[in-house]
Structure 1
Amino acid sequence: MNHSFFLITFLLFLVLFSLALKKILRGRKIEQRISKKLNEHGKINGLFGMVYYTKERLPWGSFSKDYNNFYDEDDSEEIKELKTLWIVNVKEFRKIMFLVLLDVFIIMIYSYLIA
């Protein structure tokens, strides 16, 4: 019984971690597409342009309630759509990472109680 609980929680961790990794890779592809479009419009340039662009709009690392701090007035519909995809992906990633950390915490507590 003890080993089965550990194995189930560990398998849950592996599944959630692989989902989080998938979200990271998807987010990176979306970020590259946004970066390409913003570079075409002359809004960013350089090697780490997207990092600085994001840092200017999200100084505290989070989106406002209606996401208006990430959109620009002169964004095209395609750029707004890509930004929306990126925002949704980031929010889904944060939910998955919360579950991953919760699962790791459960495994740690369980290991402590068994030992």
Structure 2
Amino acid sequence: MKRELGIARCGLACCLCSENTNCHGCNSGECPDKDWCENRKCSIEKCYGHCYDCMEDCRKGLLSKIKPYGFTLFVKRYGEQMLLECLERNEKNGIIYHREGIIGDYDEFDDVEKLIMFIKDGKR
């Protein structure tokens, strides 16, 4: 886990991403998706560091997917540090962020509350 990369503006875990080894997170300005990322643009326009800082229950952009939406809700409830701690513990216990391409264990949910419980306790 590259904890220093933290959580992306949209809620994705940059700290666990294995897709782009040259990326230093969406706040670095080096994100390969920075020009089209709706969540990055919106949060910058609203002067928020992350989507989880916003009080709206938004599902636009990457928040239409369960993983970033669930991570964003988790941070709104428990804070970013707790999310990072849970993700690190879960990784050490064999939970995979990216198993094939960008799909991993956190993507296997259709209920956001079940995903949040999975993040919190690491058990299905």
TM-score normalised per structure 1: 0.28
Greater Rg by CA: 1
Name the structure, 1 or 2, with higher relative contact order (CA <8 Å, separation 6+): 1
TM-score normalised per structure 2: 0.27
Q: Which has the higher helix share?
A: 1
